[in-house]
Amino acid sequence: MYFTRAVLWVMLLLGGVTGVAQTVIRVAPPPPVRVGVVGVAPGPGYVWTGGYQSWNGTRYVWVAGRWVRPPRAGGIWVSPRYVHSGSGWVFYKGYWR
């Protein structure tokens, strides 16, 4: 019984840690986010997910923002971001909360 509980706790803890997608980049900081006109939502219930700079293995490329419908009512979009860490940058993907 103790072993089963311990395994379940480890799986739960690891699942929480590995659930956040990240990419470590050790080259240069990302360029600034582009600024532009967002425009009007295509319909009720749409949320704007802003653009971001994505590392493709050799350079940063701009991924344009877009209007999307949340996967569930009340969903909140958490934007992707870069965080400086040690000698590089860590990219955290955007996700719905």
3 state DSSP class of 45: coil
Q: Name the more confident of 18 and 20.
A: 20
What's this model's pTM, rounded to 2 decimal places? 0.68
| Residue pLDDT, tens place only, 30-68 | 888 888 889 899 999 999 999 999 999 889 999 999 999
| Residue pLDDT, tens place only, 69-90 | 999 999 999 999 999 988 888 9
Q: In 1-97, where does DSSP find H-type helix?
A: 2-18
| Backbone conformation region of residue 71, classed left if phi is above 0, alpha if psi is from -120 to 50, else beta | alpha
